[in-house]
Amino acid sequence: MTADPLIGTAVILFPAELEESSNKMDIRIYAGNLNKATTQEELTALFTQAGTVNSVDLVMDKATGLSKGFAFISMPDQAEADKAISMFNAYSLADSALKVNIAKPRVEHA
């Protein structure tokens, strides 16, 4: 902290501080081969067993309102994401063997 004059007025300057979470990026996990009846709540409860779940995006068909059979789960760090992948890849949920891995970046189509 310093007190420097600015156009004749004393101004107190404080060093900038980043919020701890502002420089962290969530790890996105792809979960596929979901039963169409699987809900966002079920996925949240399941993946919470591996660690903190920041969000679950269950992809829905706009025309039918039903699940497209895949979702993206955001977790705060690589260790928790790796744990979720090892726990739930090939895991049987509602008679479907899940396919779980790190989500690939979206490819923009021209």
Kindly report, residue by residue over 79-98, the tens digit of the pLDDT: 999 999 999 999 999 999 99
Residue 81 class from Cβ within 10 Å (0-12 exposed, 13-18 middle, 19+ buried)?
Answer: buried
Task: Give residue 70's domain range.
Answer: 24-102
The partner residues of 57 in beta bridges, in order of sequence, read: 72
Mean pLDDT (the chain, rounded): 87
Domain with 80 in it: what CATH number?
3.30.70.330
Residue 40, pLDDT > 90, answer yes
Is 1 within the bounds of a domain? no
Domain count, the chain: 1
Is 57 within the bounds of a domain? yes
